[in-house]
Amino acid sequence: MSVLGIDEITYGADDLPACRRFFLDWGLALVQEAADRLVFETLNGCRVIVAASGHPDLPPAIEAGPTLREVVWGVESDADLALYAGRIAALPGFMHSHGRIGCTDPNGLAVRLQVTQKRKVDVRGAACNTWDRKDRIDQASPAYERARPIEVGHVVFFVRDVQACERFYVDHLGFAASDRYPGRGAFLRCAPDGGHHDIFLLQRPARDAGLNHVAFTVRDIHEVFGGGMHISRCGWDTQLGPGRHPISSAYFWYFRNPAGALVEYYADEDQLTARWQPREFEPGPTVFAEWAIDGGIDGHTRRQKGASASDGKFITDKRH
Ligand SMILES: [Fe+2]
Q: Please write the tens of the pLDDT for every residue from 50-78.
A: 999 999 999 999 999 999 999 999 999 99
Question: Which segments of the chain are extended strands (E)?
Answer: 5-13, 29-34, 37-41, 47-52, 67-75, 95-97, 100-104, 110-115, 151-158, 176-181, 185-189, 194-195, 199-202, 210-217, 238-244, 251-256, 262-267, 271-272, 279-280, 291-292
Asked if residue 320 has pLDDT above 70, the reply is no
Mean confidence (pLDDT) of the chain: 96
Name the amino acid, one letter, at 2.
S
Whether the model clears a pTM of 0.85, i.e. scores above it, the answer is yes
Q: What is the pLDDT of residue 253?
A: 98
Percent of the chain with pLDDT over 70: 98
Cβ count near 277 (within 10 Å): 8
- Number of continuous H segments (helices) and E segments (strands) in the chain: 5, 20
Q: What is the pLDDT of residue 310?
A: 72
Ligand 1 center to 317 CA (angstroms): 39
Ligand 1 center to 319 CA (angstroms): 40
**Mean per-residue pLDDT, 125-149:** 97
Q: Rounded to an integer, what distance in angstroms lies between the CA atom of residue 114 and that of residue 94? A: 14
Q: Which of 163-167, 233-237, 240-244, 313-317 has the lowest mean pLDDT?
A: 313-317
Angle subtended by helix axes 16-26 and 221-233, to nearest 10: 140
Q: What is the pLDDT of residue 318?
A: 63
Asked if residue 319 has pLDDT above 80, the reply is no
Q: Rounded to an integer, what distance in angstroms lies between the CA atom of residue 14 and that of residue 259? A: 8
Ligand 1 center to 48 CA (angstroms): 17
Task: Please list the alpha-helical segments (H only) found in the chain.
Answer: 16-26, 78-88, 162-167, 221-233, 285-288
Cβ count near 131 (within 10 Å): 5
Asked if residue 124 has pLDDT above 60, the reply is yes
**Mean per-residue pLDDT, 226-235:** 98
Give 129's strand partners.
Answer: 134
Ligand 1 center to 201 CA (angstroms): 11
Ligand 1 center to 137 CA (angstroms): 32
pLDDT in tens, 181-203: 999 999 999 999 999 999 999 99
The conformation of residue 294, written as its DSSP 8-state character, comes to: T
Ligand 1 center to 310 CA (angstroms): 32
Ligand 1 center to 221 CA (angstroms): 14
Q: CB of 257 within 8 A of CB of 238?
A: no
3-class secondary structure, 73: strand
Cβ count near 319 (within 10 Å): 7
Asked if residue 256 has pLDDT above 70, the reply is yes
Asked if residue 5 has pLDDT above 70, the reply is yes
- According to DSSP, the β-strands at 110-115 and 67-75 are parallel
Ligand 1 center to 151 CA (angstroms): 13
Q: What is the pLDDT of residue 285?
A: 79
Ligand 1 center to 315 CA (angstroms): 34
Asked if residue 207 has pLDDT above 70, the reply is yes
3-class secondary structure, 185: strand
Place 313 in a pLDDT band, splitting at 50, 70 and 90. Answer: confident
Q: What is the pLDDT of residue 286?
A: 83
Q: CB of 267 within 8 A of CB of 223?
A: yes
Ligand 1 center to 202 CA (angstroms): 12
pLDDT in tens, 266-310: 999 999 999 999 999 998 878 889 999 999 999 999 999 988 877
Ligand 1 center to 154 CA (angstroms): 7
**Mean per-residue pLDDT, 148-173:** 98
Rounded to a whole number of angstroms, the distance between the first and last alpha carbons of the chain is: 66
Ligand 1 center to 196 CA (angstroms): 10
Q: Rounded to an integer, what distance in angstroms lies between the CA atom of residue 236 and that of residue 251? A: 19
CA dihedral 80, 159, 179, 219 (to 10 degrees): 70
Asked if residue 312 has pLDDT above 90, the reply is no
Q: Rounded to an integer, what distance in angstroms lies between the CA atom of residue 275 and that of residue 11? A: 36
Asked if residue 315 has pLDDT above 70, the reply is no
Place 230 in a pLDDT band, splitting at 50, 70 and 90. Answer: very high
Asked if residue 223 has pLDDT above 60, the reply is yes
Q: Can you say whether the dihedral through the CA atoms of 49, 52, 56, 60 is positive or negative? A: positive
Ligand 1 center to 130 CA (angstroms): 26
The conformation of residue 7, written as its DSSP 8-state character, comes to: E
Ligand 1 center to 131 CA (angstroms): 29
Burial status of residue 115 (CB atoms within 10 A of its CB: 0-12, 13-18, 19 or more): middle
